[in-house]
Amino acid sequence: MLAIMVMVIFTIAGMIKGMIGLGLPAVSMGLLSVIMTPFQAASLLIVPSMVTNIWQLFAEGRVWSFIRRFWMLLFGVVLGSMFSFLPTLNQGQGHSSELLLGMMLTLYGMYGLWAKHFPNLAQHESWLSPIIGYVGGAVTVATGVIIIPVVPYLQALHLKRDELIQALGLTFTVSTICLAIFLQKNPVAHVHLDYLWALLALLPSLLGMWLGKKIRYQLNGQKFRRLFFIGLITLGGYMMLHLLLG
């Protein structure tokens, strides 16, 4: 029964990721935490997140140009995961960080849905990237999810639809590696990382992502933008309700 629940959860999470380029960790962490601890849930999503992120990164080509552009952002993510200023998953105090993340996702989604114009931060990219990356890395080891502040930042660079998806794939790949290293180096007593279960979650994640990607390719830029922000509001609202009611 547990295996079926895990597979259903990752199919749903994978489909959301395929449609808007993110959401697999957030959705799976939220749903899995009903049946296991946050640390166990984070360890379970390592393999599906890694494989789907790499797929997302390489699907459109031009990978090296993205690495050259965003290497300072990635460097910041690594530093933030190593020297986090937030309570981390293994400290059992991550709920406050997760609640804050849910609130930020919801507010940003609402802003993006109704705002007519986004600020353009491209001219400040050289000094903003390491700062945003550092905060994102800290959020990753606190919640298992990097979305805030990286997603709003990448959106503010005015990337095109597929460029945004690929930039997210690159950032998420690095953050997932950092999370995996963190979980290995900071174990919780009596909790072990079970990568066999993680492999079980991989196939439905890939299936869901393939379905979601098919849906995304049917959308024009305006419809994708609307779906993207509705997805953020839904993710944030779910995270808050799950914590407040759980």
Q: How far apart are CA 40 and CA 244, in angstroms?
A: 21
Rg of the chain in Å (alpha carbons): 17
Q: How far apart are CA 229 and CA 113, in angstroms?
A: 6
The pLDDT tens digits for 43-98 are 788 889 899 999 988 887 789 999 999 999 999 999 999 998 887 776 655 566 66
pTM for the structure as a whole? 0.81
Cβ atoms within 10 Å, residue 212: 22
The pLDDT tens digits for 125-150 are 999 999 999 999 998 888 777 888 89
